[in-house]
Amino acid sequence: MTQLKLIAVLFILFPVIAFAQAGPHFLVDGGESIETGTHMRGKEVHYEIKFKNDGDSDLKILSVSTSCGCSTALASDSIIQPGGSGTISFTFNGNGMGKVAKGVNVYTNEAEGKNLHTMVVSMNMVDPVTINPQSIITEGKVGDELTQTATITNFYDKPIVVNEVTSNSPAVKVTSDMTTIDLRQTATITISIKIYEESAVNAAAIIRTDAGEFQIPILVDVKAKLN
């Protein structure tokens, strides 16, 4: 075999030999910096981290852990065959405000120095709405019908549907000028209070939405009528 032919054969075989020595390879879809979007503060966040074995031998997930006790992670399978895929189920308890980042550590059977993978899972935690004012304190006399207004602004990353506006008192009637509040949009809540007797009105306006239930406490100090 001539020297030129020998070199050509080596070039053909080299990629095959190199691939055969690749071993298992943990690869996260989209990379190990993960943005999950906007979530409601106080509610659990669930996210599926997708990965695959990009190597030529079985990938073993030896352990999965998170950076704090406020989050958990669990792999769908402990052994992933070459070309196969799996998921890591990540859960965060929702406590936090603004940008929150948590680490997910995965140990595998890859070569030493390459067997630890740390994904950073970032979440934007928000209060879905802002209510103004947060409570209503006023006064009146028996027979008065008072009208108060409040606003509710959507800061979530999708429209909020207003399912019901009501109160916990027959003396208070509540209406809204919107049934769907788009992002950064503000709805007006109208609260009508009828004073029937000489005792304080202690009630709440209740706004039930697909993003949760919100209340506006109402306190009316009732003054005695002048004879």
pLDDT at 48: 96
Q: pLDDT tens digits, residue range 6-38? A: 455 554 554 544 444 489 999 999 999 999 998
SS3 43: coil
pLDDT band with cut points at 50, 70 and 90 for residue 2: low
Average pLDDT over residues 161-184: 96
Instruction: State how far the Cα of 125 lies from the Cα of 157, in Å rounded to an integer.
Output: 11
- pLDDT tens per residue, range 128-157: 899 999 999 999 999 999 999 999 999 888
Domain ranges of the chain: 22-126, 129-223
CATH for 129-223 (3.40.50.20, 1.10.10.10, 1.10.1280.10, 2.60.40.10): 2.60.40.10
DSSP string of 87-109? Answer: EEEEEE-----EEEEEEEEEEES
> What sections of 21-141 are H helices per DSSP?
none
In the three-class reduction of DSSP (H, G, I as helix; E, B as strand; rest coil), residue 185 is classed as coil
The mean pLDDT value of the chain amounts to 89
pLDDT of residue 152: 96
CATH code, residues 22-126: 2.60.40.10
How many other β-carbons are positioned within 10 Å of the β-carbon of residue 111? 10
> Quick one: pLDDT at residue 8?
52
pTM: 0.65
47 to each of 26, 44, 119, 165, how far by Cα in Å?
A: 19, 10, 13, 32
Are both 22-126 and 129-223 of the same fold? yes
